Chain A
Amino acid sequence: MRGVEKRLTEFKAAGVRPVAISVDPPEVSRHFCKKAGYTFTVLSDPKAEVIRRYDLLHVGAGPEGHDVARPAEFLVDSSRVVRWVNFTEDVRVRARADEMLAQAKKLR
């Protein structure tokens, strides 16, 4: 996420709008974005409805056994067609901003 913020201008230039989604409620995300200096769109799915519909629910993986989203990234065009997707196999390994940017440029 820090990498995405750092390269936000490059994402915009490539015609890509990064949008982060988690179960955190809006006020928690707002506080975090302010603290971390994130300016891209962050959306809240506190009941994990969209996360569940995307089949990304990681049951009991959050603190105190809360359900969270598994990390996953989708590059979607305006017709809602998925153009690129990444599902991490290891929670410690995340898609890097430069990888995602390279994909976005390749698809342009």
Chain B
Amino acid sequence: MPDATESRRNLDAWWGLLLALAAMLCNVVFFVNPPVQRAIPWLSVLLAVSALIFLARGIKRAFGRPRVYHGKILSSIVAALSLLLVSLVFITFFHARAMPTSAAAPRVGQLALDFTLTNTSGQPVSFDQLFAPAADDPKHTAPKKVLLIFYRGYW
């Protein structure tokens, strides 16, 4: 007859920590700008939710059946650490997606508003001037389109 109180390893909390770490690592991936980057925010959330499931199971085992699964203290520490990581993942997710709606921004087919702004030499540059042929271009070909890239700045 098998011993009912035979101790078993409780690795769920550790799996939770591993998944939480993986969820955090997703944020580092953006720096390499991979082609799949649109999916990465959702991947981080998926990993964080999986981490929570494993943590819950690990804690339930450690406290529910402490004679079989030991390590109440250790799994609590691991769970606390993982919860901190998971919270950070969720905070980052919502913070990164808290974007203005830009409802009045020009859309495809609409006119882009005219402007004159200052270049890095301190010279004013109008929208029309952007379509002038580049000074270093021997063929003097004018650009057909301008790609306006608005960015956050504060480099």
Among B114, B125, B150, the residue within 8 A (CB) of A51 is B150
One digit per residue, 1 when the CB lies within 8 angstroms of any chain A CB and 0 when it does not, for chain B 110-127 equals 111111011111100101
A81-B109 in contact (CB<8A): yes
Q: Which of A21, A62, A104, A108 contacts B149 (CB 8 A)?
A: A21
Interface centre among A33, A55, A92 (most CB of B within 10 A): A92
Q: Do residues A82 and B110 form an inter-chain contact, with CB atoms below 8 A? A: yes
In the bound complex, what is the Cα–Cα distance between A56 and B30 (angstroms)? 22
CB distance from B17 to the nearest CB of A (A): 23
Chain B residues near A (Cβ < 8 Å): 27, 30, 33, 35, 37-38, 40-41, 96-97, 99-100, 102-115, 117-122, 125, 127, 130-131, 134, 137, 141-155
A61→B105 contact, CB < 8 A = no
Minimum distance in angstroms from B33 CB to a CB of chain A: 6
Name the interface residues of A16-55: CB closer than 8 Å to any CB of B.
16-24, 26-30, 32-33, 41-45, 50-51, 53-55
Chain A: residues with Cβ within 8 Å of the partner, total of 71
Q: Secondary structure of the B side of the interface?
A: loop
Contact of B151 among A12, A71, A77, A96 (CB under 8 A): A71
CB <8 Å contact, B146 and A17: yes
Q: A19-B148, A43-B117 are in contact. Are A87 and B105 (CB under 8 A)?
A: yes
A96 touches B27 (CB 8 A): no
List of A residues within 8 angstroms of B125 by Cβ: 41, 43
- Residues on A with C-beta less than 8 A from B110 are 81-82
Top 5 A-B residue pairs of the complex, sorted by shortest distance between their CB atoms: A22-B153, A15-B144, A17-B143, A30-B120, A55-B104
